[in-house]
A and B are shown apart, each in its own frame.
Chain A
Amino acid sequence: KNEVEQSPQNLTAQEGEFITINCSYSVGISALHWLQQHPGGGIVSLFMLSSGKKKHGRLIATINIQEKHSSLHITASHPRDSAVYICVGSYNTDKLIFGTGTRLQVFP
């Protein structure tokens, strides 16, 4: 069983909608990363957080250590946000466990 679970696996939205992607992990982590993989395959790191909340533009990431849960929110979604979003748990300074990703499609 993967120690990092994401939901939903697939998500479709209309442009402008508020989007939430969830990530749960089964044991304690040192930090949690969110990655974005574009349709062409390239992977970009969006956030790394170990507590609280971070914001970058229309993207917001939160983490609740007690509940072992993180969320990635996208406000005012746009078709260019269409991508696979990957949650990654860091279990010590080197070990990473990757979620299988959430495929998001935003339609105009």
Chain B
Amino acid sequence: NAGVTQTPKFQVLKTGQSMTLQCAQDMNHEYMSWYRQDPGMGLRLIHYSVGAGITDQGEVPNGYNVSRSTTEDFPLRLLSAAPSQTSVYFCASSRGRRGFYEQYFGPGTRLTVT
């Protein structure tokens, strides 16, 4: 099993550009989440999904969109990148609800917006 994969590993964008961060898992997990990690702060939840076709907002959803058309994939779209979105992004999946099941994290995407 590859576990949770994310692409790209690194990305530099100019302000106003859009892009999609890819996330895929091969463990047949229903629950998937996107987090961002900023220096001096804990991981913060952007969006999450409890199954194909079902998504919901987390703590910091503004400027991001998600969709979940399959169990395996959960892409995160930045609609119009801003310097405040410079961060490291992690995708995670779990067999059940995040609070009670182990989460498996992807390797992260380091995004810089200039």
Q: Which residues of A contact B101 (CB under 8 A)?
A: 48
Closest to B103 in A: A45
In the complex, per-residue mask of B24-66: 1 if CB is within 8 Å of any chain A CB, else 0: 0000000000000000111111001000000000000000000
Are A43 and B99 within 8 A (Cβ)?
no
Are B100 and A96 within 8 A (Cβ)?
no
Q: Which residues of A contact B100 (CB under 8 A)?
A: 30-31, 48, 90, 93
Are A98 and B105 within 8 A (Cβ)?
no
Are A97 and B99 within 8 A (Cβ)?
no
- Which interface class (under 10, 10 to 19, 20 to 34, 35 or more) fits B? 20 to 34
Q: Which residues of A contact B108 (CB under 8 A)?
A: 41-43
In the complex, per-residue mask of A1-41: 1 if CB is within 8 Å of any chain B CB, else 0: 01010000000000000000000000000110100000011
Are A44 and B42 within 8 A (Cβ)?
no
A41-B107 contact in complex given A97-B42, A98-B42, C-beta closer than 8 Å: yes
Q: Which residues of B contact A90 (CB under 8 A)?
A: 98-100
Q: Which residues of B contact A97 (CB under 8 A)?
A: 42
User: Please, how many angstroms separate the alpha-carbon atoms of A100 and B42 in the complex?
Assistant: 4
User: Please, how many angstroms separate the alpha-carbon atoms of A95 and B99 in the complex?
Assistant: 7
* B93-114, CB < 8 A from A: 97-105, 107-108, 110
User: Please, how many angstroms separate the alpha-carbon atoms of A105 and B42 in the complex?
Assistant: 19
Interface size on A, residues (CB 8 A): 25
Cβ of A92 within 8 Å of any chain B Cβ, yes or no, is yes
A41-B99 contact in complex given A94-B48, A100-B40, C-beta closer than 8 Å: no
Q: Which residues of B contact A33 (CB under 8 A)?
A: 102-103
User: Please, how many angstroms separate the alpha-carbon atoms of A96 and B45 in the complex?
Assistant: 8
Are A42 and B107 within 8 A (Cβ)?
yes
* A49-108, CB < 8 A from B: 86, 90-101
Q: Name the residue among B44, B101, B110 with the largest chain A CB count within 10 angstroms.
A: B101
Further pairs besides A91-B99, A94-B98, A94-B99: 15, Cβ < 8 Å? A30-B100, A31-B99, A33-B103, A41-B110, A44-B105, A45-B104, A45-B105, A48-B100, A86-B43, A90-B100, A96-B98, A97-B42, A98-B43, A100-B40, A100-B42
